[in-house]
Amino acid sequence: MIRFRHNPCNSERITVKFGYDKDYINDSFHNGLDIGALTPGVEGDELYAVDDGIIKSVRLNSSTAGNYIILECEKYTARYLHMQKTTVSVGQKIKVGNIIGYMGSTGISTGPHLHLEIKTCKFDDKDYWKKDISGKYIKAVDPESLLLKEHWAEKHFINLNRKGITIYERRFDDPITRGELFALLDRVSTN
Ligand SMILES: [Zn+2]
């Protein structure tokens, strides 16, 4: 199973899921994962490289995607959309966790968020931009399945680690919802 080596941003607030989502415009296929800003409505959250890679495209002012960049990694290619600004250029080699830009609301967007798209092919693959009849990019995968949710879990839980068993206890001051709790526990390893 492929995973990110670094999460794309610090926010955990998923606003629109991959696939068909009732909150998404026109009931069309949503080819990425939307993550809202740390503070709703406020631009400028740091965006990070999810793995080592090379910048294959930097596009400014696309009418739909706004400012976006394409980072090609070994196992997949990541596209970051609606950026406020980017700090990288085509051909640049990037290390995992490097800042590649800042979250914004450029293009078609209702507020500051990252739309992250992951495709399991290289940027120059003939299938990179190809869609099926539903509007899904044929090489797109759900970015949520690649997120490092154990990092989120450690923010919300204290790892008690009793007798070598990983036990997470909820932090007192944490307003996590029941649904979020189960989503996190689902991801947490119980080695
Ligand atoms: Zn989106």
182 found inside a domain: yes
Same structural domain for residues 32 and 52?
yes
Which residue numbers are catalytic?
113
- In this prediction, residue 185 has a pLDDT band, given cuts at 50, 70 and 90, of low
Any domain includes 121: yes
pLDDT on residue 191: 37
Count of domains forming the chain: 2
Q: Clarify whether residues 76 and 169 are in a common domain.
A: no
pLDDT band at 56 (very low <50, low <70, confident <90, very high): very high
Whether 161 shows a pLDDT value over 90: the answer reads no
Predicted TM-score of the model (pTM)? 0.82
The pLDDT, as a whole number, for residue 147 is: 93
Per-residue model confidence (pLDDT) at position 138: 97
Strands (E), 18-135: 33-36, 46-48, 53-62, 66-72, 77-86, 93-94, 99-103, 113-119
| Ligand 1: centre distance to CA 187 (Å) | 23
- pLDDT per residue over 57-86, tens digit each? 999 999 999 999 999 999 999 999 999 999
d(CA 99, CA 38): 16
Same-domain pairing of 32 and 71:
yes
User: Measured in angstroms, how far is the CA atom of residue 191 from the centroid of ligand 1?
Assistant: 34
Residue 19 pairs with which residues in a beta bridge?
A: 30
My answer on whether 47 and 141 are in the same domain is yes
Same domain, yes or no, for 85 and 126? yes
Residue numbers of the domain that contains 173 = 151-187
Same domain, 124 and 169: no
Contact (CB, 8 A) for 158 and 171:
yes
- Rounded to the nearest angstrom, the distance between the alpha carbon of 16 and the centre of ligand 1 is 7
**Residues 64 and 19 grouped into a single domain:** yes
